[in-house]
Amino acid sequence: MEPRAPTGCFWDLKIKTMAEPFGKIIRAFIAIPLPESVRQMLGDLQSQLKKAGIQAAWPKPAGFHLTLTFLGPTSLDTLMQIQTVMEMFCGKYPDLVLAAGGMGVFPGIRKTRVVWAGIRGHTHRLEKLYHQLDKNLHRLGIPGQTRRFLPHITLARIKAPVHPQTLADLIQKHERTWSDEFYARTITLYESRLFSQGAIHTRMFQTKLGG
């Protein structure tokens, strides 16, 4: 990894439009990475869903993250503008103390499509960061988010109907299953590539919170 720049930003992969075919489009999103200990704990929580016989697509624990915004298909020249927007956050917002755990579902327990773990802690600061990021991205022509911000980590994408009582029992059983508190000190721009075995996320650019 390259040394952190004076602005508090650093790169794993510098985005260079001249190094890629003109007009190349990638799938991208911005998220907060999670510590290994938290990802491991969420992996254990995911295992409880598998043991219950739920049929689902299972995100790999190594790729667990807290999504702030999904950008969708994005051109490389737009990504460079997004980097500029992210640089505005370097040192502007303090780092966050968060914890992950519990269990919930989207859109509801009778027709569940996603099972997720929640976030608690400095959620007010997190929501402020989310809205400020969304506002600045909108100025680049990126559509604003229309749904209420509910910070979560996806554990499973349901492929076959699950009996509501099964989910209700799991939610109740794990309502007190939470990670230790951790510091969220960075926001990261990822490229997401879809493969038959699942999505692969590549870190492209990262900014440090708290200066």
Distance (Å, rounded) from C-alpha 100 to C-alpha 208?
20
Strands (E), the chain: 9-11, 25-33, 56-57, 65-75, 96-106, 114-121, 152-158, 182-184, 186-195, 198-208
Per-residue pLDDT of the chain (211 residues; tens, 9 = 90+): 333 333 344 434 444 433 444 457 888 999 999 999 999 999 999 999 999 999 999 999 999 999 999 988 888 888 889 998 888 776 677 889 999 999 999 999 999 999 999 999 999 999 999 998 998 888 888 877 777 899 999 999 999 999 999 999 999 999 999 999 999 999 999 998 877 666 788 999 998 887 5
* 68, 103, 121, 127, 194 from 148: Cα distances, Å: 12, 18, 18, 10, 26
Q: What CATH architecture does domain 9-13+25-208 belong to?
A: Alpha-Beta Complex (3.90)
